[in-house]
């Protein structure tokens, strides 16, 4: 199987690492070869192509990974028009300035598509999603806090939409029950935290509805400590309240904690608790455990037609999610701009993957 990575920066390198780990897994039959597309040659380790067109014609990849910055993805998708292989895209799909109808048309011939919504692949997420369905729970309230520090990060960004996307996907993924998330209000802050400009949307707080349930939350790229938490209150078929909380990537990447409980006269009654280590025995797996599950599903689907263990975030799903993100950005009443660097900046080329994530 041939994999072409468009954009071998931070995100593209993580995909390369994850796919290589799939090929190394004991008992798998995957034989993978790699190439990359970029504006400049950055390594001689794998073949380089200066354009998508050249890579498609000469390398003939079975899978194309699109991991360029958000503002460049829509253009890459148009260059993939007519491609019939499988496309994996880093989130977000695009930006609010892009023509989503053109994106959909350009990718109409692909054999498969998935967006990198990696928290779907957490054991904690999967358990709670299945528990909600098995016990016919109805959402009463969900709340999220999802943030990390990208102040003075050298990577370009469209802003907080590429951070809040995880929460806006996870809440309906876990307990949507066929309902769509509908945003009511949003407020945000703009600043020069990013090399992308002086007034980039860095944070947003919102309220929304998901069927009968209310959803509130806050997400930020200037949250100076990484914090990823989603809390739920459910109603059981017997009209009792049930609580659930997931904390992701704490204290290290891929270390997740799920807790499900009910309140009783004698105190909290723990129903289920699940912790994932995040510290893989194999150093090559660290920080890419969940991403590895996604690319393993892709490899098995492409090579053997095996249905994924976690349903792919399809092109239709991804377009719908992008429209939701555009709605959040468009509705946001903002303050600022905040100036972190009134006298200019020297952007930090961060190399710590744990911090970057």
Tokens standing for 78? Answer: 């148009």
Classify residue 57 by burial, with Cβ atoms within 10 Å: 0-12, 13-18, 19+: exposed
Give 236-255 pLDDT, tens digit per residue.
Answer: 999 999 999 999 999 988 99
Ramachandran region, residue 27 (left: φ > 0; alpha: ψ -120 to 50; beta: rest): left
Counting residues of the chain whose pLDDT is more than 90, the rounded percentage is 85
Task: Please say whether the beta carbons of 67 and 9 come within 8 A.
Answer: yes
Ramachandran region, residue 82 (left: φ > 0; alpha: ψ -120 to 50; beta: rest): left
DSSP per residue over 334-357, as a string?
A: EEEEE-S-TT----B----HHHH-
Q: What is the mean pLDDT of residues 214-230?
A: 96
Q: How far is CA 211 from the centre of its chain?
A: 23
Task: Give residue 345's pLDDT.
Answer: 82
Task: Give residue 153's pLDDT.
Answer: 84
Q: How far is CA 280 from the centre of its chain?
A: 21
Task: Give residue 179's pLDDT.
Answer: 95
- Give the start-end residues of each E strand in the chain: 2-6, 33-37, 48-49, 63-66, 86-89, 112-115, 138-149, 181-191, 200-210, 213-220, 222-235, 241-247, 257-264, 267-275, 333-338
CA proximity to 306, closest of 314, 294, 298? 298
Task: Please say whether the beta carbons of 253 and 287 come within 8 A.
Answer: yes
R_g (Cα) of the chain, nearest Å: 20
- Give the start-end residues of each E strand in 78-180: 86-89, 112-115, 138-149
Buried b or exposed e, range 180-190, using 16+ CB within 10 angstroms = ebebeebebbb
Task: Give residue 277's pLDDT.
Answer: 83
Report whether pLDDT(26) > 60. Answer: no
Task: Give residue 344's pLDDT.
Answer: 86
pLDDT band at 278 (very low <50, low <70, confident <90, very high): confident
Task: Please say whether the beta carbons of 171 and 215 come within 8 A.
Answer: yes
Q: What is the mean pLDDT of residues 308-331?
A: 96
Give 85-118 pLDDT, tens digit per residue.
Answer: 999 999 999 999 999 999 999 999 999 999 999 9
Q: What is the mean pLDDT of residues 163-167?
A: 97
């Amino acid at each position: 199987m041939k994999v072409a990575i468009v954009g071998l920066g931070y995100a593209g390198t993580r995909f390369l690492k994850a796919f290589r780990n799939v090929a190394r897994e004991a008992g798998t039959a995957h034989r993978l070869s790699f190439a990359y597309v970029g504006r400049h040659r950055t390594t001689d380790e794998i073949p380089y192509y200066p354009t998508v067109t050249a890579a498609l014609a000469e390398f003939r990849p079975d899978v194309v990974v699109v991991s360029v910055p958000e503002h460049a993805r829509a253009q890459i998708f148009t260059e993939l028009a007519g491609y019939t292989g499988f496309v994996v895209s880093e989130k977000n799909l695009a930006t609010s300035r892009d023509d989503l109808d053109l994106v959909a048309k350009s990718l109409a011939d692909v054999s498969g598509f998935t967006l990198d919504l990696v928290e779907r692949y957490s054991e904690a997420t999967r358990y709670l999603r299945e528990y909600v369905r098995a016990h016919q729970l109805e959402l009463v309230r969900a709340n999220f806090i999802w943030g990390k520090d990208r102040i003075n990060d050298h990577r370009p960004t469209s802003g907080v939409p590429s951070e809040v996307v995880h929460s806006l996907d996870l809440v309906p993924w876990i307990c949507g029950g066929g309902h769509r998330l509908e945003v009511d209000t949003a407020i945000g802050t703009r600043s020069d935290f990013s090399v992308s400009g002086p007034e980039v949307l860095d944070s947003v707080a919102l309220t929304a509805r998901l069927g009968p349930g209310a959803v509130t939350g806050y997400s930020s790229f200037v949250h100076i400590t990484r914090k990823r938490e989603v809390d739920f209150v459910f109603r059981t078929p017997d009209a009792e309240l049930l609580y659930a909380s997931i904390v992701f990537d704490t204290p290290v990447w891929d270390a997740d904690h799920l807790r499900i409980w009910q309140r009783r006269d004698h105190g909290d009654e723990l129903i289920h608790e699940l912790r994932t280590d995040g510290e893989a025995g194999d150093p090559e797996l660290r920080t890419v455990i969940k991403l590895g599950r996604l690319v393993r599903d892709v490899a098995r689907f492409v090579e053997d037609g095996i249905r994924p263990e976690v349903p792919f975030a399809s092109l239709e799903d991804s377009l719908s999610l992008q429209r939701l993100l555009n709605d959040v950005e468009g509705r946001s009443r903002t303050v600022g701009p905040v100036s972190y660097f009134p006298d200019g900046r020297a952007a930090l080329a961060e190399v710590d993957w744990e911090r970057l994530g």
